[in-house]
Structure 1
Amino acid sequence: MRRNVLRTALLAAALSTTVVGIGAGQAPAAAADTGVPNGDVIANLWAWNWRSVAAECTNVLDPAGYGAVWVAPPAESLKRPDGVWWDVYQPYSYKLTGRFGTQAEFAAMVTTCHNAGIKVYTDAVINHTAAQTGVGYDGTTLSDKYDPVMYDRVDYNVDVCPRSISNWGNLWEVQNCELLELPDLKTSSSSVRSKIAGYLNAQLALGVDGFRVDAAKHIPSGDLAAIVNQLNNTTAGVRPFVFHEVFPGQPPAPSDYYNSGRVLDFTYAEKMKGAFQGDIASLSSFGTSWGILPAANSVSFVTNHDTEREGRHLSYKDGPAAKLANVFQLAWKHTTPTVYAGFEFSFNDQAPPNSNGYVTDTNCASGWHCLNRDPAIVGMVGWHNAVGAANVANWQSPASNVIGFGRGTTGFVAINNSGAAHTFQYTTGLPDGTYCDVITTCASSVTVSGGRATITVPAKSATAFHTGSTTAPAVTGDYTVQAHTTWGQNVYIVGSVPALGSWNTANAVPMTTDASTYPRWRGSSALPANTRIEYKFIIREPGKPVIWETGANRVATTPASGSTTIDGGWFRR
């Protein structure tokens, strides 16, 4: 939360389709992991309610290959009658029922995401409690800002500095006075540290995997390290993943916090905006010499819920430039990237779509911009996972605002930030062959010959391919499976190749049945020849999580020509 947080921020990004989430009061259904490798990319779904996050983990994040989801603070907070986005940064209690759903829905979301192979990181508001009195989202009343249910007046620095920060260049003031009149917790107190750790450990016990620490720069680094040291291991038996909000340019330095976690890199986002509103050819040397933080100590972003409204970073309102900056972030070798998906706003304090303050289910077709679902971004998440740790290679910039580069001999990307289509013969470093363009969900392809490829990239767009996205001659796949369904449910087949949606359930192949053949479902599509395919049958119903088959992925190898029959027998629930 920046110093002007109570007057700024929450964003969106690009594209998508239908309502995410399930009916009110319903717990998300458990879903099996698709088997798609989950990498390190974090989807920042900060403004989404718990039902919608659960459905997104199952239906989008896992099939796309995301590794984690970053969500809003789960604590009960101030409930503003006029509806603002930032009321969740004013904790009223450490109860886990609040603006985004009940504790039961929160716990169910964590379980559902874990079942899909997605880790969950929550926003941790631990520097302060609420400045404004009133009633919280779970009915807790606050009549004196120094007397919430969690703390007593002695637990605050009010006796040390009973005023807001006035000198932002003074480290003592930044860490002992009040941020925008928010009561500053006395984190030097062992009792306060224990209460904060208890709140976070309660989330770890429910399966949470880590935390983004809000306003970390306002907590002395030694105090924060002492709190982090009191955290339990996750339910997976590892230390929680912690990353801090430490805005640069004023004390303290981001490096002061490396002893207790990583740091969100605001400079990275600033440099992305400068390059994509200027000439991206300058990015050939992008790295720590630009002032960005070391890869091992940082988490990168193009924009987030806390910066989009002040114009410092790119947002969905910047159109294709913001999407292309995210393409670059996923393609460039540096640190753990985040992709932000939020809601539309017309004024700074605007709240997310809600009913009486409680955030309603995310509808990517109305009021929200779900960049995490954009086909180009989904394709680049898979590309990012495919190239792994390979180094940047074969940098080329054939024209202003046009670049191309590879990652070792595994993947290549060309980005055109100019206003006209551009054609160039790139040195790719990839083996000869025909590859599908993951930016277009394989609607187009690229042929590499002698290590080179002539690529036409449309204006404000990109082309990307990797050795796992080779194309092959097509054969016909005929699919059958027997599945008992209820009204509104339909059966699909989804799998590891683009023809079966590349594990993206939104692109799965539909199957049909009728009164004479039910419960036998049939479908068909083109498949690559001579290819080993992993697949599963799924059941989809509008507005509800996908039901995946249980057990290991099914496997088939297609012939060199003709057709292949895939009979799934019975749907394995």
Structure 2
Amino acid sequence: MQHGTSLTPRSPRRRRRAATAMALGALTLGGMASLPSPTAQAADTGTPNGDVIANLWQWNWASVAKECTDTLDPAGYGAVQVAPPEESLKQADFYWWDVYQPYSYKLDSRFGDESAFKDMVDTCHGAGIEVYTDAVINHTAAQTGTGYAGTTMSNKYDTTDYDPADSDNCTKTIANWSDQQEVQNCELLGMPDLDTAESGVREKITGFLNKQIDLGVDGFRVDAAKHIPTADMNAIVGALHKTASSDAPYITQEVYPGNPPALGDYYANGDVLDFGYAATMKSQFGGGDIANLESLGGSSGLADEANSNTFVTNHDTERNGYTLSYKDGATATLANVFQLARGYGRPSVYAAWKFDQSDAAPPNNGSGAVTDTDCSGAWSCLDRDKAVTGMVGWHNAAAGKAVTDWQSPASNVIGFGRGDVGFVAINNTSSDSTHTYTTSLADGTYDNVVGEGSVTVTGGKAELTVPAKGAVAFHTA
């Protein structure tokens, strides 16, 4: 949570993995608006659900539930990450960062009340989709006023859940980012830093998280984890309940780039959001040569693969320019295609709303409550793009297979496989590319899962015409 505002060996944490010629009319990527809206269907289509996370950032609970049944399960996503569910600041402009300033641990927010939250969790579970929430547990709100559930606050150190003694003694805003003591004990953007070394504070935090687990939540994206000492994080994570499907919830932690602390310090507690991966996607797809991605790995500045939660963009980085965003159109879509094909770490796909001003509020009813997601209007729903949904299934089919048959017939054009299961060719240029690729797939005819038409493999070769800013991908059933 790096707001651009004026305020403004493996632990038992589970990693969920997969359960189990010429391309005709290949899709040119970036045409999401032309995709039809999904129609309602019965929960759980029977499609195997893998490990891909759909990050539906600040969608309301009813819209998340509908997306689980209509899009995520049929495509084979494994989990949905949703916004912070607690009551938060409700300031006059309803900015997006309201939700990162907790007012109380009531599950009553701009996305819906506790009943709607529970309905969303149950609906997603019925479709085979796990639910992870954004856990804002490092701090409380900087701004006084009224919350979305009506809680009022006149002293930022004295809230419904905490009193002044529960905050760290450092009441200044972090200024020296090279001082780990200051980074982890002083105030991020003026928000009171909770004393997570204190057992009473930790009990309140774990109570808040365990209440969600008891309602069916399967894991957490820990906001501002960099500002929580790793020993405190370990104590919090260790006190969490079992989930319905695992001995421990899935944990991914926001550790924004820059030391201290070191990224690896957090591996014992779960995964980490891989900002290095996202930056690499921008540097290569946004101006470099994607052929350089052949050597992708921990030695190139990424998190260790076993603990990497990869992404192409998120709500902070699409606003500060650190990564690609929906505004990059087909280039960003292609980066997501590569992410799903390459299989490094655990991938997530981001979908939110369009904006012109970085602080802008999500689409709302005029009183701050987020309205239903409309992917033909104010929202950018990359999770529904055919190229992405096709690659989710491709990713699931290829799980556990090594990268093979890497080829780069031209600058910014690559092709590679995952053993004898799948092959993908990506063209990050402005002109169509035709080339004969070597593949380990058996001879035969395969559907192009990111577009129309089919691919024929003969003698281990496939002649592919990959459209400008497009891809061709196929795999065994």
- For normalisation by structure 2, the TM-score amounts to 0.93
Deviation at 1:3, TM superposition (A): 5.9
Deviation at 1:248, TM superposition (A): 2.1
Deviation at 1:32, TM superposition (A): 3.0
The answer on whether the counterparts of 2:5 and 2:359 sit within 8 Å (CA) in structure 1 is no
The aligned runs of 1:285-434 (5 Å cut-off) are 285-355=295-365, 356-434=367-445
The answer on whether the counterparts of 1:99 and 1:137 sit within 8 Å (CA) in structure 2 is yes
Distance 1:4 1:170, change over 3 A: farther
Residues 410-445 of structure 1, C-alpha deviations (whole Å, 9 max, x = no match): 1000000011000000001111111110011xx211
Pick one of 207, 215, 219 that aligns with 1:198: 207
Deviation at 1:339, TM superposition (A): 0.2
Partner of 2:454: 445
Flag the structure with larger Rg: 1
Partner of 1:483: none
In structure 1, C-alpha distance between the alignment counterparts of 2:102 and 2:185, rounded to whole Å: 19
Partner of 1:230: 239
Partner of 2:15: none
AA paired with 2:315? H
Pick one of 42, 50, 63 that aligns with 1:39: 50
Partner of 1:110: 121
Check if 1:241 corresponds to 2:250: yes
Pick one of 136, 143, 155 that aligns with 1:144: 155
Deviation at 1:235, TM superposition (A): 2.3
The answer on whether the counterparts of 1:14 and 1:323 sit within 8 Å (CA) in structure 2 is no
Partner of 1:166: 175
AA paired with 2:250? F
> For the aligned residues, what is the CA RMSD?
1.6
Residues 14-72 of structure 1, C-alpha deviations (whole Å, 9 max, x = no match): 72557789xxxxxxx99431110000000000110000000000000000000000000
> SS of the counterpart of 2:441?
coil
Partner of 1:455: 464
Partner of 2:32: 15
> SS of the counterpart of 2:435?
strand
Deviation at 1:237, TM superposition (A): 4.3
Residues 270-311 of structure 1, C-alpha deviations (whole Å, 9 max, x = no match): 000001022111111111121101111120000012211111
In structure 2, C-alpha distance between the alignment counterparts of 1:402 and 1:257, rounded to whole Å: 36
The answer on whether the counterparts of 2:4 and 2:320 sit within 8 Å (CA) in structure 1 is no
Distance 1:3 1:360, change over 3 A: closer
The answer on whether the counterparts of 1:20 and 1:363 sit within 8 Å (CA) in structure 2 is no
Partner of 1:514: none
Residues 509-543 of structure 1, C-alpha deviations (whole Å, 9 max, x = no match): xxxxxxxxxxxxxxxxxxxxxxxxxxxxxxxxxxx
In structure 1, C-alpha distance between the alignment counterparts of 2:6 and 2:215, rounded to whole Å: 30
In structure 2, C-alpha distance between the alignment counterparts of 1:408 and 1:32, rounded to whole Å: 33
Residues 59-115 of structure 1, C-alpha deviations (whole Å, 9 max, x = no match): 000000000000000000000111211100000000001110010000000000000
Greater relative contact order: 1 or 2 (C-alpha under 8 angstroms, separation 6 or more)?
Answer: 2
In structure 2, C-alpha distance between the alignment counterparts of 1:358 and 1:333, rounded to whole Å: 37
In structure 2, C-alpha distance between the alignment counterparts of 1:331 and 1:206, rounded to whole Å: 34
Once the two structures are aligned, what percentage of the paired residues are identical?
62
> SS of the counterpart of 1:354?
coil
Partner of 1:120: 131
Residues 430-470 of structure 1, C-alpha deviations (whole Å, 9 max, x = no match): 11111110011xx21110000101000000000000011xx
In structure 2, C-alpha distance between the alignment counterparts of 1:313 and 1:243, rounded to whole Å: 19
AA paired with 1:316? Y
Q: Point out 4+ residue stretches in structure 1 off by more than 2 angstroms.
A: 3-8, 16-21, 29-32, 235-238
Distance 1:3 1:165, change over 3 A: farther
The answer on whether the counterparts of 2:4 and 2:358 sit within 8 Å (CA) in structure 1 is no
Residues 163-196 of structure 1, C-alpha deviations (whole Å, 9 max, x = no match): 1111000000001110011001011100000000
Deviation at 1:133, TM superposition (A): 0.5
The answer on whether the counterparts of 2:81 and 2:134 sit within 8 Å (CA) in structure 1 is yes
The answer on whether the counterparts of 2:317 and 2:323 sit within 8 Å (CA) in structure 1 is yes
The answer on whether the counterparts of 1:437 and 1:444 sit within 8 Å (CA) in structure 2 is yes
The answer on whether the counterparts of 1:18 and 1:365 sit within 8 Å (CA) in structure 2 is no
> SS of the counterpart of 2:276?
helix
Partner of 1:2: 2
In structure 2, C-alpha distance between the alignment counterparts of 1:72 and 1:264, rounded to whole Å: 16
Distance 1:6 1:259, change over 3 A: farther
> SS of the counterpart of 2:103?
coil
Check if 1:269 corresponds to 2:278: yes
Structure with bigger strand share is 1
In structure 1, C-alpha distance between the alignment counterparts of 2:368 and 2:37, rounded to whole Å: 19
Residues 246-287 of structure 1, C-alpha deviations (whole Å, 9 max, x = no match): 012221011111111111000000000001022111111111
AA paired with 2:385? D
The aligned runs of 1:182-221 (5 Å cut-off) are 182-221=191-230
Partner of 1:550: none
Deviation at 1:236, TM superposition (A): 2.6
> SS of the counterpart of 1:358?
coil
Check if 1:253 corresponds to 2:270: no
In structure 1, C-alpha distance between the alignment counterparts of 2:315 and 2:58, rounded to whole Å: 8
Check if 1:54 corresponds to 2:65: yes
AA paired with 2:236? I
> SS of the counterpart of 2:161?
coil
In structure 2, C-alpha distance between the alignment counterparts of 1:333 and 1:110, rounded to whole Å: 27
In structure 2, C-alpha distance between the alignment counterparts of 1:431 and 1:30, rounded to whole Å: 35
Pick one of 99, 105, 115 that aligns with 1:88: 99
Distance 1:244 1:406, change over 3 A: same
The answer on whether the counterparts of 1:403 and 1:414 sit within 8 Å (CA) in structure 2 is yes
Distance 1:85 1:330, change over 3 A: same
Number of equivalences: 453
Partner of 1:493: none
AA paired with 2:355? F
Deviation at 1:381, TM superposition (A): 0.3
In structure 1, C-alpha distance between the alignment counterparts of 2:4 and 2:62, rounded to whole Å: 30
In structure 2, C-alpha distance between the alignment counterparts of 1:37 and 1:344, rounded to whole Å: 31
In structure 1, C-alpha distance between the alignment counterparts of 2:154 and 2:38, rounded to whole Å: 37
